[in-house]
């Protein structure tokens, strides 16, 4: 099994690391605030990663991806890293 999955389109990028149980995401469109996100829980990581891979498309936004993960048991948090 791959230890890291990277999903990227023109709007956002997500990296899921199964070994460290971390999910990191970045919004690529908002260059003024540069929102990023990370996971607070990791209990259903494999299930949520599979759901995100199935839902992923060119129109997926960071917040859309966060919703998919949230709906599959991964609690996500976001903040603006430009501050």
Q: Domain locations in the chain?
A: 4-80
Look at residues 37, 53, 67 and name the one whose alpha carbon lies nearest to residue 4: 53
Contact 36, 11 (CB under 8 A): no
- Predicted confidence at residue 1, as pLDDT, reads 56
pLDDT digits (tens, 9 = 90+) for 25-82: 999 999 999 999 999 999 999 999 999 999 999 999 999 999 999 999 999 999 998 8
Specify which residues 23 forms β-bridges with. 16
Please, what sign has the CA dihedral across residues 66, 68, 71, 73? negative
- Predicted confidence at residue 2, as pLDDT, reads 77
Contact 21, 45 (CB under 8 A): yes
């Amino acid at each position: 099994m791959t230890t890291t999955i990277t999903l990227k389109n023109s709007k956002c990028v997500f990296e899921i690391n199964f070994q460290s149980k971390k999910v990191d995401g970045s919004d690529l469109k908002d260059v003024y605030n540069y929102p990023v996100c990370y996971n607070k829980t990791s209990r259903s990581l494999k299930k949520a990663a599979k759901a995100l891979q199935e839902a992923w498309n060119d129109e997926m936004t960071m917040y859309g991806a966060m919703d998919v993960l949230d709906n599959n048991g991964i609690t996500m948090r976001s903040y603006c890293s430009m501050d």
